[in-house]
Structure 1
Amino acid sequence: MTLSEILKPEAIKVVASASSKKRLLHDVGDLANSVYGYETAGLVTALMERESLGPTGVGNGVALPHARLDEVKDMSAVFLLLEKPVDFDAVDRQPVDIVMALFAPEAAGVEHLKALALVSRTLRNGDLCKKLRANHDASTLYALLTSDQNIQAA
């Protein structure tokens, strides 16, 4: 599995600002709706339920919200770059400006974990995150995220 298999070029958006974590998750849901046709309210509810188990802000300004839903047939993702970081209850208490949200079929166990591992490894790369933060063009962001196709899920 590679990022280009789960992330469409049109599933990338630069957001000027989000007023809160909840608003940011709504932005994620809206983007997933416009790109993949997923029902926004259900996505947001599933993401909020997952966040109630523990925040998905993994540190260094990165969040990896994720959810499994019946309506999702194939692993998919959206990416948001925030021009103004937002508090996301991250483990390091730092605001988040890079968000990669994953959506998996309800029955996806191992596949979901592999996708999470792939995204986590990718966004743990400090040099990549620096490049992402320096670019606000969606096509450039997509190219940066998918350029190293050698990074694969376990």
Structure 2
Amino acid sequence: MDLSKLLNPSSVRFIGQTTSKKRLFQDIGEVVAAAHGVNASVALEGLQERESMGPTGVGHGIALPHARLHSLDRIVGVFMRLEKPLEYDSVDRLPVDLVFALFAPKDSGVDHLKALALVSRTMRDESICTKLRANSDPAKLYAILIESRAPQAA
């Protein structure tokens, strides 16, 4: 699995400002609806339900919100770079500016975990995060993410 299977160019955005985590989740819902055909309110509800179990802010300015939805037949993602970092209740209490949301079918099992691990590994790479933070063009952000985890030749 690679990030090009989860993202498409229209699922990557630069957001000038968002006022709250709820507003961020609404924005994510709108993007996943436009880019992947997922119902925006179902996506929002799924993100809020998962977040109620514990914050998905993993530290270092990164959040990985995710949800399992009945309406999906494959795993899809949304990436957002926030111009103004947002208070998020992250584990390190730092605000978030890089958000990679994942949506998986309810019965995706291990595939959901594999996708989450791939995204987590990618977002832990300091050089990738530095490049992401240095760009606001969604096409460049998409290219950085896709190139970051391209399959490596042996």
TM-score (structure 1 length as normaliser): 0.96
Confirm whether residue 150 of structure 1 aligns to residue 127 of structure 2: no
Give runs of ≥4 in structure 1 deviating > 2 Å.
none
What is the 5 A alignment of 1:22-41? 22-41=22-41
How large is the RMSD of aligned CA atoms in angstroms? 0.9
- Deviation digits for residues 72-130 of structure 1, max 9, x if unmatched? 11110000000001011100000000000000011001000000000000000111101
2:74 equivalent in structure 1? 74
Question: Which amino acid counterpart does residue 135 of structure 1 have in structure 2?
Answer: N
Q: Percent sequence identity over matched residues?
A: 50
Confirm whether residue 122 of structure 1 aligns to residue 143 of structure 2: no
Question: Which amino acid counterpart does residue 128 of structure 1 have in structure 2?
Answer: I
1:4 equivalent in structure 2? 4
Confirm whether residue 45 of structure 1 aligns to residue 45 of structure 2: yes
Query: Counterparts of 1:133 and 1:66 in 2: how far apart (Å)?
Result: 22
Pairs aligned (count): 151
Per-residue deviation at 1:150? 3.1
What is the 5 A alignment of 1:63-142? 63-142=63-142
Query: Counterparts of 2:45 and 2:60 in 1: how far apart (Å)?
Result: 25
Query: Counterparts of 2:151 and 2:60 in 1: how far apart (Å)?
Result: 23
Query: Counterparts of 2:61 and 2:9 in 1: how far apart (Å)?
Result: 22
| 2:11 match: secondary structure | strand
Query: Counterparts of 1:88 and 1:8 in 2: how far apart (Å)?
Result: 25
| 2:22 match: secondary structure | helix
- Deviation digits for residues 23-77 of structure 1, max 9, x if unmatched? 0011000100111111111110110010010100000000000000011111100
Query: Counterparts of 1:150 and 1:126 in 2: how far apart (Å)?
Result: 19
Question: Which amino acid counterpart does residue 33 of structure 2 have in structure 1?
Answer: N
TM-score (structure 2 length as normaliser): 0.96
- Deviation digits for residues 121-153 of structure 1, max 9, x if unmatched? 0000111101100001111111100113137xx
